Amino acid sequence: MSGGHDTHSHGLNLTLHVWRQKNAQDTGHFETYSLHGISEHCSFLEMLDQLNEQLLKEGREPVAFDHDCREGICGSCSLVINGRAHGPDRETATCQLHMRRFHDGETIYIEPFRAKAFPVQRDLVCDRSAFDRIIAAGGFVSASTGSPQDANALPVPKEAADLAMDAAQCIGCGACVAACPNAAAMLFVGAKVSHLALLPQGQPERKKRVLAMVEQMDKEGFGNCGNIYECEAACPKGISVENIARMNREYLGASLTARPQGEAKAGF
Amino acid sequence: MSTTPTAPKLDSKCPTGPVSERWDKHRFELKLVNPANKRKFHVLVVGTGLAGASAAASLAELGYKVSVLCIHDSPRRAHSIAAQGGINAAKNYPNDGDSVRRLFYDTVKGGDYRARESNVYRLAQVSNSIIDQCVAQGVPFAREYGGLLDNRSFGGAQVSRTFYARGQTGQQLLLGAYQALMRQVGLGKVALYPRREMLDVVTVDGIARGVIARELVTGAVERFAADAVLLCTGGYGNVFFLSTNAKFSNATAIWRAHKRGALFGNPCFTQIHPTCIPVSGSYQSKLTLMSESLRNDGRVWVPKAKGDHRSPDQIPDAERDYYLERIYPSFGNLVPRDIASRRAKEMADAGRGVGDNGMAVYLDFRDAIGRDGAPRIAEKYGNLFQMYERITADDPYKVPMRIYPAVHYTMGGLWVDYNLESTIPGLFVLGEANFSDHGANRLGASALMQGLADGYYVIPATIGSHFAGRKLGAVTTDHEAFKTTEAAVRARLDQLLSIDGKRSSDDFHRELGLVMWNHCGMARSEKGLKTALTKIRALRDEFWHDLRVLGTGEELNRELEKAGRVADFMELAELMVLDAEQRRESCGGHFREESQTEEGEALRDDANYCYVGAWQHTGEGANLSWTMHKEALTFEEVKLTQRSYK
Ligand SMILES: Cc1cc2nc3c(=O)[nH]c(=O)nc-3n(C[C@H](O)[C@H](O)[C@H](O)COP(=O)(O)OP(=O)(O)OC[C@H]3O[C@@H](n4cnc5c(N)ncnc54)[C@H](O)[C@@H]3O)c2cc1C
Ligand code: SF4
Ligand code: FES
């Protein structure tokens, strides 16, 4: 392709089956819409903007969906497109998906992320605050604002820092949960556990953290990992399932050495 | 002007004495709140970007009772998450001559001498603690093989003072602050209210005592009472519709506060970033920034001839104009943001732009690839090239990138004193939402620094003066002021719902954005600004007669949300134009065509415009009007000079 865009194409004609649900109590259903002349250069969400503009003109209520940054970093967008969380492209959030990925005459199914722990609030919008509660349970380093030691006082091997950064890139979108047949949150939790366990700053609370986060994860109603790895395939940031393995090791290690209150007093 | 307002007291409360001792001295003189008393004071924080999350966490750690309103389902999604490049600090780790004084000096000069020296010095002073604090939280900054932190030079700075975490510095800093915030939520010290949009400020006896917000899922209009309110709601670049800001970023919080008495500082100061992916069609919903670092190796050019539609590889070097290298032989492609932006516009205006609509210039890596090889270039910019290709379907290894300037940041914002307090007592404004530290132009990697400085270090020290220094009676949400403010909010929502016109709020917003971009964007003139005023007023009138919002207020209603924001942008746009009109000088990002040198460079007028324009809202509706007050700026440490990059 050369510098300019193809100005001759007349755009894509699409049939959309979109999940409509008035509120959390409503059971919801698919509605079908036709869209014409969609430029292949626009993004998937811009295609939905155009659908909404059309619905509004026709006096029908627009489709609600979550979005904000539209560049794959805030983790707001959350659609299941033709059965796949964040659509067909690898390591691509819904908002980064472009219509050139689709062909003229195509039928597209658009649904919200579905999981017991992510209740739908309206149409394609769901509530992912369960993730926040998992972080609140232990996904942090307890370092209150103050005058900590100089940032370079504690060198961190570059390899550890890079691995920690790989895990820290998680955008908290929840696609891993939506893609998992068991609606497990292991990739999300594993990524945060790994990020902090790999750094010296995370050591003091290392065991407490993983136990608390896993406990909260179970409380929120996420499922168990069945080693199917759909999560990694759907993840827009390419978070590796190695993080799940690391979390399991961390958890096992922490469980073995943790002292349940009031017990394990007698020494060996 | 319909009413004669009483002039508010514009006391900056800046300490005096040697600039390096002012913050210390000020902190010493501030009244302290007894530790046992802190839990009696309730702070309401609106917005969870770097400024809001860091402030909320730090104040809760100190023992204050904190509530947080967050527009998203999670505080981690705030707009700060999108910052890419990095954060500045005066650590001088690379031993290249940096210091607090140099960062201070660069920031004052970079802001084209339109910021307060006291504020900027404090910012440079606390910059080092920010890095220490973030590292302590586990923020995975880039490191060298020896395990120490890596630094890079950013935005043409002469020293390497920028800390970064790959291309996701904002994300990692925000996650650090978010995790600190969630820790306090888990401990029960912070009450978090997600999916809340603040729609008005409630004042009692002239003091901010709470807000009215809408719960976005059920539409419930709610009252929140507090002893202090912190607006950390970000910038207003989205007044232009197309910008690099996230879609939810908006001005409503600061605009509503402005209309309740908070003065607005330098509304016209807008930063336009030179390297963004150009607009590709009328469906465009936002613009994507391409990191400034690309200008280290890419060469900017346009065809010499007007309307040359050949593909770039068919245009020989002799017929290309590498205009930045030509005009600025010493800085070349690395001239500051405002200059690079304006020159690109000049090329497009002269009919020499490229791409379908001629609204782009080339950023070409051919020579860099020839010199260093594709693998080396991929190492430096691989992820950026990939991002570009994903959006445009062009491969920058083969075809030059097309770039164009886009609105990126707003230096203007609510006027605050040295304590970050607005002209409404008890209402504090942090981060991009205030006007304070960047003058007429912000340096790259300095917004993250300011947001965290405000939240981690400034407000925890200064908020005590409000609690310890004023008598705050008990106020609950049953107070009459909450009733009347809530009624006003409801009336407004009803009004938006009942117009029953034909055009969507997006449609209006797009048109408003275009007016602003054409007349109050990269170059501003008396004539253009007059035109803009007429157009904005007509459009605002049409908005209130022809807006279409479907559904009700008692449900999740995105069209209603957007309509409220656009309504406020329609008024803010007018104020921006008025401010641009009164400032008949060029400075930083504000370029008045009437005020330029013979070579077309910005010409400041220190004799007449060395002040902050602080606007007071004085009339409503058909009598919408303002009065401007001046806060004079004095420079004791830095000598005012004209910038030169030739
Ligand atoms: C693409 C991009 C890249 C950038 N890169 C850099 C960089 O490399 N270095 C740098 O220093 N700076 C950078 N900046 C600038 C910097 O990111 C911002 O200035 C900074 O993050 C602002 O932080 P904040 O906390 O003040 O506000 P924000 O992060 O904008 O947070 C405010 C939040 O409040 C919400 N809000 C608004 N109104 C309301 C309301 N009424 N009720 C409730 N919530 C509301 C907003 O939606 C937003 O999420 C970049 C900016 C952009 C757009
Ligand atoms: S692990 Fe991946 S898919 Fe899961 S929340 Fe994080 S970024 Fe999203
Ligand atoms: S909208 Fe932010 S990640 Fe998609």
**Ligand 1 neighbourhood includes B172 CB (under 6 angstroms):** no
**Ligand 2 neighbourhood includes A188 CB (under 6 angstroms):** yes
Domain-located, residue B310: yes
Measured between CA atoms, how close is B627 to chain A, in angstroms? 35
Q: Positive or negative, the Cα torsion across B432, B434, B435, B437? A: negative
Q: Which chain A residue has the Cα nearest residue B312?
A: A3
A137 and A249 together in one domain: yes
The closest of A165, A261, A252 to A207, measured between CA atoms, is: A252
Strand order in the sheet with A12-20: A29-38, A12-20, A107-112, A79-81, A84-85
Asked whether the beta carbons of B340 and B299 are under 8 A apart, the reply is no
End-to-end Cα, chain A, rounded Å: 73
- Environment class of B6 (CB within 10 Å of its CB; exposed 0-12, middle 13-18, buried 19+): exposed
Pick the atom of ligand 1 nearest to B213's CA: 42
Cβ pairs bridging A and B (under 8 Å): 242
pLDDT value for B642: 84
Element (H, E) at A13: strand A12-20
Q: Could you report the per-residue pLDDT of A207-235, keeping only the tens digit for each?
A: 999 999 999 999 999 999 999 999 999 99
Interface mutation target, options A44, A74, A121, chain B, most CBs of B under 10 Å: A74
Domain-located, residue B618: no
A178 and A78 together in one domain: no
Domain-located, residue B348: yes
pLDDT value for A266: 38
d(C-alpha B201, C-alpha B486), whole Å? 10
Closest ligand to A178 CA? 2
A110 and A10 together in one domain: yes
Block residue for tokens 């986060």: A213
d(C-alpha A96, C-alpha A236), whole Å? 10
Closest ligand to B162 CA? 1
pLDDT value for A2: 38
A105 and A40 together in one domain: yes
Those residues whose C-beta lies under 8 Å from the C-beta of residue A222, and which sit 6 or more positions away, are: A115, A116, A117, A130, A177, A183, A184, A185
Residues of chain B in contact with residue A3, where contact means CB-CB under 8 angstroms, are 311-312, 354-355, 362, 394, 399-400, 402
Into how many domains does chain A fold? 2
**List of E strands, B248-384:** 264-265, 270-276, 299-303, 320-321, 361-364
Residues of chain A in contact with residue B397, where contact means CB-CB under 8 angstroms, are none
The CA distances from residue B293 to A158, B155, B287, B411, in Å, are: 22, 7, 18, 22
3-state percent helix, strand, coil for chain B, nearest multiple of 5: 40, 15, 40
Block residue for tokens 């996650």: B175
| B147 interfaces chain A, CB cutoff of 8 Å | yes
Q: Is the pLDDT of residue A259 over 80?
A: no
d(C-alpha B464, C-alpha B57), whole Å? 16
Ligand 1 centre distance from Cα of residue B49 (Å): 6
Q: What type of residue sits at position B101?
A: R
| CATH number for the domain that contains residue B536 | 1.20.58.100
A137 and A245 together in one domain: yes
Q: Could you report the per-residue pLDDT of A104-131, keeping only the tens digit for each?
A: 999 999 999 999 999 999 999 999 999 9
Domain-located, residue B511: yes
| CATH number for the domain that contains residue B398 | 3.90.700.10
Measured between CA atoms, how close is A154 to chain B, in angstroms? 8
8 Å CB contact of A129 and B248:
no
Q: Give the one of B136, B399, B559 whose C-beta lies nearest to A141's C-beta.
A: B136
B400 and B506 together in one domain: no
Instruction: Select which of B122, B260, B299, B337 is catalytic.
Output: B337
Paired residues of B300 in beta bridges? B363
A169 and A95 together in one domain: no
Measured between CA atoms, how close is B133 to chain A, in angstroms? 6
Pick the atom of ligand 3 nearest to B82's CA: 2
Q: What are phi and psi of B181, to 5 degrees?
A: -65, -45
B278 and B397 together in one domain: yes
Asked whether the beta carbons of B195 and B72 are under 8 A apart, the reply is yes
Domain-located, residue A267: no
d(C-alpha B239, C-alpha B264), whole Å? 15
Asked whether the beta carbons of A43 and A64 are under 8 A apart, the reply is no
| Among protein residues, the one whose CA lies closest to atom 31 of ligand 1 | B49
A233 and A136 together in one domain: yes
Domain-located, residue B557: yes
Measured between CA atoms, how close is A267 to chain B, in angstroms? 33
Alpha helices in B2-153 (DSSP H): 22-29, 35-38, 50-62, 100-110, 117-137
pLDDT value for B7: 64
Residues of chain B with pLDDT under 70: 1-7
Which of A46, A73, A86, A91 has the most ligand 3 atoms within 8 A of CB, as the residue to mutate?
Answer: A73
Tell me, yes or no, if B337 is annotated catalytic: yes
Those residues whose C-beta lies under 8 Å from the C-beta of residue B534, and which sit 6 or more positions away, are: none
**Ligand 1 neighbourhood includes B238 CB (under 6 angstroms):** no
Residues of chain B in contact with residue A137, where contact means CB-CB under 8 angstroms, are 186
8 Å CB contact of B280 and A41:
yes
Mean pLDDT of chain A: 93
A93 and A136 together in one domain: no
The count of other CB atoms within 10 Å of the CB of residue B5 is 16
Asked whether the beta carbons of B463 and B43 are under 8 A apart, the reply is yes
Q: Could you report the per-residue pLDDT of A13-71, keeping only the tens digit for each?
A: 999 999 999 999 999 999 999 999 999 999 999 999 999 999 999 999 999 999 999 99
| CATH number for the domain that contains residue A79 | 3.10.20.30
8 Å CB contact of A157 and B129:
no
Domain-located, residue A38: yes
- Tokens representing residue B471 in the block: 């008598």
Domain-located, residue B387: yes
Write down how long chain B is: 646
A45 and A81 together in one domain: yes
Domain-located, residue A147: no
Last residue of a domain, one of B407, B438, B465: B407
| Among protein residues, the one whose CA lies closest to atom 43 of ligand 1 | B197
| CATH number for the domain that contains residue A166 | 1.10.1060.10
d(C-alpha B501, C-alpha B515), whole Å? 22
Strand-strand pairing, B413-414 and B221-225: unpaired
- Tokens representing residue A115 in the block: 């999981």
| B143 interfaces chain A, CB cutoff of 8 Å | yes
A111 and A135 together in one domain: no
pLDDT value for B4: 45
Q: What are phi and psi of B563, to 5 degrees?
A: -60, -40
Those residues whose C-beta lies under 8 Å from the C-beta of residue B212, and which sit 6 or more positions away, are: B198, B199, B200, B202, B221, B222, B223, B224, B482, B485, B486, B489
End-to-end Cα, chain B, rounded Å: 45
Element (H, E) at B69: strand B65-69
Spell out the long-range contacts of B534-540 with Cβ–Cβ below 8 A and sequence spacing 24 or more: B536/B512, B536/B570, B536/B573, B536/B574, B536/B577, B537/B574, B539/B508, B539/B511, B539/B512, B539/B515, B539/B570, B540/B570, B540/B571, B540/B574
Write down how long chain A is: 268
User: Degrees (nearest 5) of the Cα angle A47, A48, A54?
Assistant: 95
Domain-located, residue A254: yes
User: For residue B304, what are the domain limits?
Assistant: 273-407
Ligand 1 centre distance from Cα of residue B235 (Å): 7
| B291 interfaces chain A, CB cutoff of 8 Å | no
User: For residue A112, what are the domain limits?
Assistant: 6-121
Into how many domains does chain B fold? 2
Q: Which chain B residue has the Cα nearest residue A71?
A: B288
Asked whether the beta carbons of B146 and B132 are under 8 A apart, the reply is no
User: Degrees (nearest 5) of the Cα angle B74, B76, B82?
Assistant: 130
Residues of chain B in contact with residue A60, where contact means CB-CB under 8 angstroms, are 550
Domain-located, residue A146: no
Ligand 2 centre distance from Cα of residue A229 (Å): 12
A250 and A213 together in one domain: yes
**Ligand 3 neighbourhood includes A93 CB (under 6 angstroms):** yes
8 Å CB contact of A128 and B73:
yes
Interface of B with A in 443-462 (CB under 8 A): 456-457, 460
A170 and A222 together in one domain: yes
Domain-located, residue A152: no
Domain-located, residue A229: yes
Domain-located, residue B603: yes
Domain-located, residue A148: no
Ligand 3 centre distance from Cα of residue A93 (Å): 7
Paired residues of B468 in beta bridges? none
Asked whether the beta carbons of A123 and A113 are under 8 A apart, the reply is no
Domain-located, residue B118: no
pLDDT value for B600: 87
